[in-house]
Amino acid sequence: MTLPPYDPPVRPPVLPRTDLSYAVEDTVVGRLLLAVDTDGVLLTCAYAATPALQDRWLQRLADTVSPRVLHRPADTDEARRALTAYLSGEQRTVALPSALTLATAFQRQVLTALEGIGYGEQASYGALADTIGAPRAARAVGTALGGNPLCIVRPCHRIVPASGGTGGYAGGPEAKAYLLDLEARGRPQP
């Protein structure tokens, strides 16, 4: 019997000692955790309806970006203003620099492809899979969207089932319906 080669455990990455600031914001679509780096770049805009979800996102930030994740709402003011402007219909995007630092390589591919789906438009999971060159990966696309670290900013709510309905969403069906309706009302009519 041949044993597989020994793979030593991978060491955790050596992370920079940079501060990340976060705040938890109650919005019309639910409780969101927002985190920014020292340059104000948004790293997370994620649904955190429960303390466990909030802790999970904070741990991902600590494990992936920096162990110094600090509750400093004032540092997230610009992000919160941009999010509020979008959710109120004043803006069509969350106009803020963001980074897909918490996304996997496949998620980055999927979330980047969302840029081709404009405000008020929708596409199916299968169509998005086609866009990234993986036509049989509609379910994998759905899974990638389900873990979107930049909800609303990277508008995964615009992806719906080909069969109709709203489909899944990290913030729940009511939040997704709200976002789709918000965009439908603000979309220019032909």
Q: Which of 145, 156, 170, 179 is catalytic?
A: 156
Q: What is the CA radius of gyration of the chain?
A: 18
Nearest to 98 by CA among 145, 58, 146, 154: 154
What is the biggest distance separating any 2 CA atoms in the chain, rounded to whole angstroms? 70
Let me know if 156 is a catalytic residue: yes
Q: Mark residue 189 as left, alpha or beta (left: phi above 0; alpha: psi -120 to 50; beta: remaining).
A: beta
Known catalytic residues are 156
